A and B are shown apart, each in its own frame.
Chain A
Amino acid sequence: MGEFMKKDQMIMGIETSCDETAVAIIKNGREIVSNVVASQIESHKRFGGVVPEVASRHHVEQVTLVLEEALTEAGITFSDLDAIAVTAGPGLVGALLIGVNAAKALAFAHNLPLVPVHHIAGHIYANRLVTEMKFPLLSLVVSGGHTELVYMKEHGHFEVIGETRDDAAGEAYDKVARTLNMPYPGGPHIDRMAQEGQPTIDLPRAWLEEGSYDFSFSGLKSAVINTVHNAEQRGIKIEPQNLAASFQQSVIDVLVVKTERAAKEYNVKQVLLAGGVAANKGLREALTATFSSLEGIELVIPPLSLCTDNAAMIAAAGSILFEKGERADLALNANPGLMIESHN
C-alpha cells in the first residue's frame, strides 16, 4: 500500500426532476456501482401526460425506498460517500423539491458536501459512463423538455450554442403521436412506425436564419396536424406509417445537419448524444451514418438506460463538479428555470 494510493471517490446522485425517482452511486466519476430508477410512467399513462402534483406525491412515496435500494445494491454506507449530488433544476418544481430536500437532509445528517447539478449537465455526463470525454466536444441534447446544442471546452464548462425557440423535439413527437391517436408517451411509437413507412409526405424543415444553431418544431407539428385534417376532409387516406416516417425525417434532418455543421465549425473531437430522444432509432442511425464518414470526430451514443432520466448521470456530473469545488449549503432550493451556464 503506497502512500500515494488514492481513495476511490464515491458520489451519490439523486434525481427527481420529472416522473422518475432515481438514486445512484458512482465510483471515480465513471463506474456505476448502483443505479436505481422508480418510474411513474404507468401512473401518468392514465392521464396522457405527466401530472405535476401526482408526480410529486409519487416521489414522496418512493424516495427512501429508492435511497435504500441504491445503498444496499452498492453495499456501502454513508460513511463511504464523498458527496451527495442532486438535480437542482430545471424540471417540475414540486418534483425537484423532493430530491433537493432529501439530499439536504442526508448532507446534514452525515456531514457530507452537497453538490447541485443541472439536469442537462447530467444527461451530457451520462456519456462519461460509456467512454472518457475528449475536449472540445459538442453535445446534442434531445428530450421531452429540451433540444439544445451544448459546447464544452473542458470539464464542467457548458455553452449553449443553439436551443429550441418553441417546442422541444420530444414534445413535438408526443403531440404528433396524439394527433395519430397513439398512447402516451408517443415518441417510441412514432419511431417504430417510421421504421415501417416511407417519407413520402413533404413536410417543412425549420432552418431559421443563416448560421443559426437554434431549432423550431412547432411549425412542423402544425403541418402534420394540418395534413391529417386536410386528408380527413377530402376523404383521402394517409398511411400513418408514411406520415410518421416523413415527420421523423424532417426532425432528424434538422438535428443532424445542425449538429454536423457545429461540430465542424467548433472543431470538436467528440459529439455526444444525450437525453431521452437519444433512444430514437432513426436519430441514432442518421447520426452514425453522418459521423462515420467524418474523420477525427468520435460519435458517442449512450445505451438506452442512460439516455432516459436516471441518477447515475447526475452523480457522474456531480463527480466533476465536486472536484471543481462546487458546493451548495442547506439553503439550496429547487430552481425550475436553472441555467446550465450557472456551472461555469
Chain B
Amino acid sequence: MKILAIDTSNYTLGVALVDEDKVLGEYMTYSKKNHSVRIMPAIQTLMKDCDWTPKDVNKIVVAKGPGSYTGVRIGVTIAKTLAWSLQTPLVGVSSLEILAAGAGRYFPGLVSPLFDARRGQVYTGLYRSENGQLVQVEKDQLVMIDKWATSLKNRNEQILFVGNDTGIHRSFLEEHLGNQAVFAAISEHNPRPSELALLGKNKPGEDIHSFVPNYIRLVEAEAKWLEANGLLEKGME
C-alpha cells in the first residue's frame, strides 16, 4: 500500500511517502511561510524523486487540525481533491496526535502535545503509549494553560510536553508541575509527516465530500449568532 501524507496544519509543512512498512521519503520545513505556494511543489518533487505517479497512491492521510485555520484548509482541500479525483481512500489524523506519537512512543507516562493559541490558551490533548500504540486519554481541546496544568497536576504522573510552542509555556509548567513535567528534545518538536502516514495507515477511509478540518473553535460571528438564537449548547465555545 502506497500512502501519501500531507500536513500544512501548523508551522510545519510536511509530506511523506510510505510504502507498506517503509518510509520512502519525507519533506519537512518548520517555517510559517506560504504553505499554499510550497505544498504542491513539495508533493510533486517528492513523488518524482521516489518514482511515484499520482495514480500509484492507494491512500491519502492528512493532518486535520487543530491548527491554523487557513493552513489546515490548504492541506485538507488538496487531500480531499486528490482523494476524490483519484478515487483513493482519505483519512484524517489529529495534528496533535502526530506530535504525541513521534515523541511519546517509548515514554512511560502521559503525553501532552501542544500548539500555542495565544492569550494564555493552548490546543492540546492527552495521550498515552501502550505497547507502542497511541491511546487518547483526553480529547483535543482549546484550554487555558493554567487550567490544563491544574488538571494534569491531579494525575500524579509524569507528563511529556511536546511541540515547538512548549518553549512559550515551559517555565510556567515547570513551576506548576515540578518533576512531573518532562520536555521533549528539540529534534522531536516537529510533527513528522511519516508519523502521520503510519497513524492513518490502518484507519478506515472516511467520506470524502463531507470531510472537513477539526477547527475545534466556531467562527466568532457564528458563535454569537447561535447564542443569540438560543442554539448554542452549553460547554461549546
Contact = CB atoms under 8 A, between A and B. Distances in A.
Contacts of B133: none
A106 interface: yes
Contact of A63 (B43, B81, B225): B81
Interface in B200-231: 208-210, 212-213, 215, 219, 221-222, 225
Contact of A330 (B41, B69, B212): B41
A97 B34 CA distance: 11
Interface stretch (B70-78, B142-150, B151-159, B181-189): B70-78
Contact of A60 (B40, B41, B77, B222): B77
B221 A333 contact: no
Q: Interface size bucket, A side?
A: 20 to 34
A101 B82 CA distance: 10
Contact of B36 (A51, A53, A60, A100): A100
Interface of A: 46-47, 51, 53-54, 56-57, 60-61, 63-65, 67-68, 78, 93-94, 97-98, 100-102, 104-106, 108-110, 329-334
Main secondary structure of the interface of A (DSSP, over half): helix
Contact of A61 (B82, B86, B210): B210
A109 B40 contact: no
Interface residues of B, number: 33
A66 B221 CA distance: 26
Contacts of A67: 81, 84-85
A18 to B, nearest CB: 16
Contacts of A68: 84, 209
A329 to B, nearest CB: 8
Interface string B45-80: 000000000100000000000000110011011101
Given A47-B225, A53-B219, A57-B215, A106 B85 contact: yes
Q: What are the 7 A-B residue pairs with the smallest beta carbon separation, nearest first?
A: A330-B40, A105-B81, A64-B84, A102-B81, A109-B54, A101-B77, A105-B78
